[in-house]
Amino acid sequence: MTTQPACYRKLLKRMREVSLLNSIAGVIEWDQNTYMPAAAAAYRAEQFACLGERSHRLFTARAVGGLLTECEQLGLAPDSVEGANVREWRHHYDRATKLPASFVVKFERTKSLAYEVWREARGQSKFELFQPHLSKIVDLVRQKADYLGYEASPYDALLDGYEPGARAERIVPLFAELRAGIVALLGPAREQSAATPADLLRGEYPIAAQQVFNQRVAAAIGFDFQAGRIDTTTHPFCNTLGAGDCRLTTRYDEKDFTDSLYSILHEAGHGLYEQGLPAEHFGTPAGTAVSMGIHESQSRLWENHVGRSRTFWEYWHPIACEYFPGLKSLTPDQVYRAVNRVHPSFIRTEADQVTYDLHIMLRFEVEVKLVNRQLEVADVPAYWNEQFEQMMGLKVTKDADGCLQDVHWSTGGIGYFPTYTLGNLNAAQLMQSARRGNPSLDGDLSAGRYETLLAWLRQQVHREGSCHRPRELMEKVTGERTGIRAHLDYLREKFVGGQGT
């Protein structure tokens, strides 16, 4: 489209203003997470409220609905920039305007109390403290689903906020099959890594050396430090604060450099996606990541398919030895095996690549059952512990190591969890397609040349922004919908194939 119609131009202007306000909120949130002094918290909350209110008012104004309706009558091509923008604006506008203000206020209040209680409950490992709050949250997300509307399952209305177009009725059987597949290879995978001691990499890794090494790795895979940086936080994250401004964070364990390294590879994976989005569409859906499941595919791809590969350590081991001389006593193969040790454990965020999805799928299963009233909130710990033992062979003895470990429910984020595993599935499927499309890929990766992979991802995924919905994007790029085959093949080959890749 060469000349944009007036209604589209008006809408675009307003939406860019909404994005500006949201991006400013991003800056002050980053500051809060990194450098803000403690006494600033109360006023910072007012600063957030001021921006949030203005952004919400601008976005949900009746005039926006009118402009959207006008634009929808223009007959825009669905995968044109303009068509995609209007479609996605409508999606967000409907989600934002269907919820009555009184409901939003009540939900916010419930969540902020639930979050405080969850912290307390996890600290004491007492589910019964959290239980009444979780009950309220479940009731409220059901109501939310009713307001938003859905076809098959109320869970879909929640999921749709993170993975547009995804449906529980498809994910449930997909995950059931994946779970069976992973459980089947867990035994042999454990056996294969039985010879690798848990503490093989324990040593002295000064934080300053970790910082320089991580920076070098992130730059090598293509993260642009002219348009981003790395700071320190308790919980690593990647956040875009504006055009040309992508901030990563990590934390440091002086006894184990791989903790910060793999968070940086993970967050830089997110960051490469953010930096690869078309800058000319910044602040509109065409310049925005399409879904959490695609976003997570990028982080997992760089963290695991690249960073936890054998060739990665063949290339990086001698370089790492410059920063961490203690590593000289190990071979690249030993480091590779150490960072791929399969070992069922209680805490999701510490899980290896094989067991990770088992944590995710169990939580997803519980979420769906709660939302569908097939499980009582009071029965969550018993159900969790029973299923966990079945899958992992580990007996949960305290809820802090079980159903209480993750923050998401307390912040109302039911529907988010499955995107973690969808990310793993997408990563494996994209990696397979990247190999098909780039015969030189493995050679390039072995030589520490990451441009081939990044250029392909830029072209296939990043540049697309939200022009296609996640399902269409995966079909367009990989020839099929998100499935479990590529991921299971990858896990099997790597973890029970003998040598690993």
Q: Which residue has the tokens 């749709």?
A: 160
Provide the minimum distance between the beta carbon of 15 and a copy of itself in the complex, in angstroms, as a whole number: 13
For residue 82, indicate whether it is catalytic.
no
Long-range contacts of 30-37 (CB under 8 A, 24+ apart): 30/239, 30/241, 30/247, 33/233, 33/237, 33/249, 34/231, 34/232, 34/233, 34/249, 35/231
Catalytic residue among 82, 88, 163, 267: 267
**Cβ proximity of 303 and 265 under 8 Å:** yes
Q: Are 83 and 76 within 8 A, CB to CB?
A: yes
Q: Residue 42 or 101: which CB sits closer to a copy of itself?
A: 42
74 near a copy of itself (CB under 8 A) = no
SS3 of residue 166 by DSSP: coil
Q: Least Å distance between CB 463 and a copy of itself?
A: 18
Rg, Å, the chain Cα set:
23
Binding segment for a copy of itself (CB under 8 A), chosen from 7-15, 235-243, 384-392, 449-457, is 235-243
Q: Beta strands of 132-237 (E only): which ranges?
A: 228-232
42 binds a copy of itself (CB under 8 A): yes
* Per-residue x/- track, 246-285, a copy of itself (CB under 8 A): ------------------------------------x---
Count of CA atoms in the C-beta half-sphere (13 A) of 403 = 26
Among 40, 77, 180, 219, binds a copy of itself (CB under 8 A): 40
Among 1, 9, 35, 212, binds a copy of itself (CB under 8 A): 35
- Minimum CB separation of residue 85 from a copy of itself in Å reads 19
Q: For helices 292-300 and 470-478, what crossing angle results, to 10°?
A: 40
242 versus 497: smaller Cβ distance to a copy of itself = 242
Rounded to the nearest 5 degrees, what angle is found at the Cα of 21, between the Cα atoms of 15 and 24? 140
Verify binding: residue 14, a copy of itself, rule CB under 8 A.
no
Which of 10, 14, 44, 92 lies at the binding interface for a copy of itself (CB under 8 A)? 44
CB-neighbour burial class of residue 234 (10 A; exposed 0-12, middle 13-18, buried 19+): exposed
Specify the residue, 15 or 51, whose C-beta has the smaller distance to a copy of itself.
Answer: 51
Using the rule CB under 8 A, which residue among 2, 13, 46, 329 binds a copy of itself? 46
Please tell me what DSSP assigns to residue 243.
T
> Which element (helix H / strand E) includes 127?
helix 127-148
- 225, 251, 397, 447: which one contacts a copy of itself (CB under 8 A)? 225
Q: Which of 94, 245, 444, 472 binds a copy of itself (CB under 8 A)?
A: 245
> Which residue carries 């509307």 as its tokens?
149
| Nearest to a copy of itself of 231, 379 (CB atom) | 231
Residues that bind a copy of itself (CB under 8 A): 17, 20-21, 23-24, 27-28, 30-31, 35-44, 46-47, 50-51, 54, 224-229, 231, 241-245, 282
Question: Which sequence positions are flagged as catalytic?
Answer: 267
